[in-house]
Structure 1
Amino acid sequence: MGANTYEGERFIELPDGRVWVNVVGSGSGVPLLLLHGGPGGGHDYLEPLGALADDRPVIFYDQLGCGLSDRPGDPALWRMDRFVEELATVRQSLGLTRFHLYGHSWGGWLAIEYLLRHPRGVASAVLASTSASIAEFVAGTRRLRSLLANDVQETLDGFEARGDYTAPDYEAAVGVFYDNFLYRRQPYAPSLLRSLANLDGNQVYATMNGPNEFVVTGNLAAWDRTPRLGEIATPVLLTRGRYDEFEVRCTDTLAAGLPHAERVEFADSAHFAMLEEEEAYVAALRSFLRRND
């Protein structure tokens, strides 16, 4: 267990601001550190994973620029390298000599980058609803939106051709995609709504990603670690929902490239299986983590 993984909330000082951290549980298992999606989404929707706290400390934190952490208004901060350094500082501050790393969506990209740079002491990793490259992710969302009604596709194509991503009709069409491939239940879970509110006008998301999930124009657009997956010797669990916006080919690529990977798919979920099939999702993580403690 980390030297400073006592239960409760705290702030960790970074050169550019403070990040909020909350440690839940004090079980004897190896601590689990959670990386939320977005970028800029905040920890809220990952709250169901707190159920694992009867086994081990579960560490939630809001990455700089969102949630309960500071939100400096400098777009130059929002780079992969800085977030890797942030994660390293959080780990050091908590005294995590050995821990499990969980990354969902953008958090999965950050986890992959961290595993390539700082693998020592990472007992295992969960890469949830993510990919090894942005290009593969975007290609998948393009294929998925071809399954939508023709009028929805025409609306998306028309406004994108004009570079207009804020028109109400365009946002409504994006919402149709999200209702199919992001979260399929109505109403949305309150914790997910809080995370989505974090993304409204979020500078981090706009700088690194772009307008939405299938128009990636930010500084992450060229990110690709597919050729380096074989360097990751850590045991990895890959999770996705059957209707995930990260198409199954994204998981196939990860499974083929990672030397020690296993995978599980949740048949009634899209991108947020931890909310859509909470009990089954927590059980799958619990089994994997226990086997790799």
Structure 2
Amino acid sequence: MTDIPSIEGYVPYREYRTWYRITGQLPCERLPLVVAHGGPGCTHDYVDSFKEIAALDGRAVIHYDQLGNGNSTRLPQKGEDFWTVSLFLEELDALLAHLGIQDRYAFLGQSWGGMLGAEHAVRQPPGLKALVIANSPASMKTWVIEANRLREELPADVQATLLRHEQAGTLTHPDYVAASRAFYDRHVCRVVPWPKEVARTFQIMDEDNTVYRNMNGPTEFHVIGTMKDWTIEDRLSSITAPTLLISGRHDEATPLVVAPYIENIPGCRWVVFEQSSHMPHVEEKELCLQTVSEFLKEYD
């Protein structure tokens, strides 16, 4: 990756700034790929590996930190009414226009980023030539049901620790954090220890969880924020962009969670990474990046 140029900048958005980084060069013959992180409330760091697609096939890969996160303007004073899907759709449009790629681009969204990508795609933007939905729910209610089903498969002592601290309201207690990590090590990232870019995202979220807290809630098991009733299941048939769905065999985005994408997006393809959970781009990096690259090449 040392020979692939990259530049960083900011998009003026409302009265704020959205940080972005381009790996590779714009304009380019191949479709530029915009990568959106999850959360809501994560940062670009843990999906950083997708930049290596620039070396694989010569396309520009654009990462950005969504408003309130990472290198973009932080807004810890903003409450639930501010953090909406429409806010982030508008921000994405601003990014595409700022970079001058709104007429021809591909989009990859991981977890919440894929939810955002689906919301973007149902509007049928003419410039969206290919869509990758990675490890994403189509309904938050299904997501919570499955997260709690997977939780019931954890060792009994881990489950007891989680429940004890939830009842006491001590979710920041080291024992609760450790018990939660047992779930994450099974169903979020199975690489031990976590790669530094993954750890960095979680560290930044620990410092400022404004977006996650308001949109999701306190934990993966308790979605009580603004997204709690979110679903896109009944709108997916409107997506016209060629779509690739990826997930991991041990993913918290279980087959039941991702099924609506396969069932409702015309022509949607599904690839399951057998050794991965929620982060195939980390857990089976080479295979995942190659899979995405080969898909995008079909639409260059």
User: What's the CA shift for 1:162?
Assistant: 4.2
**What is the match of residue 63 of structure 1?**
66
Using the TM superposition, give the Cα deviation of residue 131 of structure 1 relative to its aligned residue in structure 2, in angstroms: 1.4
Q: Which residue of 1 aligns with 2:150?
A: 144
- Corresponding residue number in structure 1 for 2:275: 268
Shift of the alpha carbon at 1:212? 1.4
After the TM superposition, which residues 103-182 of structure 1 pair with which residues of structure 2 at under 5 Å, given as runs? 103-182=109-188
User: Of 92, 97, 100, which aligns to 2:97?
Assistant: 92
Structure 1 gaps, min length 5: 1-5
d(CA) in 2 for partners of 1:195 and 1:16?
Answer: 25
Contact 1:127 1:237 (8 Å CA) reproduced: yes
**Is 1:24 aligned to 2:31, yes or no?**
no
Cα shift at 1:118: 4.7
1:72 CA displacement: 2.1
CA distance in structure 1 between the partners assigned to 2:277 and 2:6 by the alignment: 32
Structure 2: how far apart are the matches of 1:194 and 1:213?
A: 19
Aligned residue for 2:48, secondary structure, equals helix
Report if aligned partners of 1:238, 1:263 keep a CA contact under 8 Å in 2: yes
Identity %: 37
8 Å CA contact 1:234–1:260 kept in 2: the answer is no
Deviations along 1:33-79, whole A, 9 cap, x unmatched? 01001112111112211111132110011111111111123224311
> What value does the CA root-mean-square deviation take over the aligned residues?
1.5
Q: Please, what TM-score do these two structures have when normalized by structure 1?
A: 0.94
Cα deviation digits, residues 82-118 of structure 1 (max 9, x gap) = 1111111111111111100100001011111111235
Whole-angstrom CA distance in 2 between matches of 1:214 and 1:235: 32
Which residue does 1:3 correspond to in 2? none
Alignment deviations for residues 11-39 of structure 1 (CA, whole Å, 9 cap, x no partner): 11111410111111134201000100111
Local SS of the residue matching 2:246: strand
Whether contact under 8 Å (2:110, 2:136) holds in the other structure is yes
The separation in 2 between residues aligned to 1:120 and 1:93, in whole angstroms, is 17
User: 1:126 is paired with a residue of what secondary structure?
Assistant: strand
From 268, 281, 286, the counterpart of 1:279: 286
After TM superposition, the structure 1 stretch with the greater mean CA deviation from structure 2, 164-173 or 250-259, is 164-173
1:137–1:16 CA distance, 2 compared to 1 (3 A) = farther
Q: Which amino acid aligns with 1:69?
A: S
Alignment TM-score, normalising by the size of structure 2: 0.92
Which amino acid is the alignment partner of residue 170 of structure 1?
A: Y
Equivalent residues of 1:38, 1:199 under 8 A apart:
no
Q: After TM superposition, give the deviation of residue 161 of structure 1 in Å.
A: 3.7
Is the 1:16–1:72 contact (alpha carbons within 8 Å) kept by the matching residues of 2?
no
The range that moved more, 261-270 or 152-161, is 152-161
| Contact 1:132/1:225 (8 A) holds in 2 | yes
Structure 2, unaligned runs of 5 or more: none
